[in-house]
Amino acid sequence: MEEESILRHWTEEHGHLIPSTEWEVLQTISNQTSEHEVRYRAADHRAVKRTWPGMFGFVPKRGLSGWMPQPATPGEYLIRQALQNELFGDDIRLEGAMIESGRSMLVGRPSGGLSLVVSQPWLDASDPYQPHPSERQIATYLMDRGFEQLFGSFFGWQVADLGIVVLDAKNDNFVATALGIFPIDLQIAEIRTAA
């Protein structure tokens, strides 16, 4: 909650608080995920994602049974987006934040929660009827970038030398375009190990 409070203050102070009217005019693409709602902004051909109030997606964390997705803090969510830019050459941008008047998705949390809003280029699939690559194509894509599969994890991959772990690398989180395969929503973390 402290990170949320700091982020809320920062967005208000720097004019990055997005009014709901600005959000509501965008075309809804998906609002069925546990992490965020996706809309389309035609003016600059970008996918705009708003986290659910009080939810900041998921990041890989190691537990007793291996690597699993765990709820992220606001800071972890922002680092995750920056890592996707760095690792995959994406163009994810923090648009700002919204203060939600509705109920939180988290039990026991009051209304008025913070939602982060990011955007990334809209990807036009080469085949709109089959927009996602196969698991084999995803494996080749990731291995070409130095990733090794993390068996027994939630669609996990890692670059051990860099301490990078990616989960949720399943086909609906990639789009196959005429220019190649692009990730759209991976759970990424840089794992720091004690020396």
pLDDT digits (tens, 9 = 90+) for 26-46: 999 998 888 889 999 999 999
- Say what the pTM is: 0.88
Residue ranges per structural domain of the chain: 2-190
Q: Which parts of the chain register pLDDT below 70?
A: 1, 101-112, 192-195
Residue type, 9: H
Interaxial angle between packed helices 2-13 and 74-88, expressed in degrees from 0 to 180 and rounded to the nearest 10: 70
pLDDT digits (tens, 9 = 90+) for 162-195: 999 999 999 999 999 999 999 998 999 998 654 4
d(CA 184, CA 119): 10
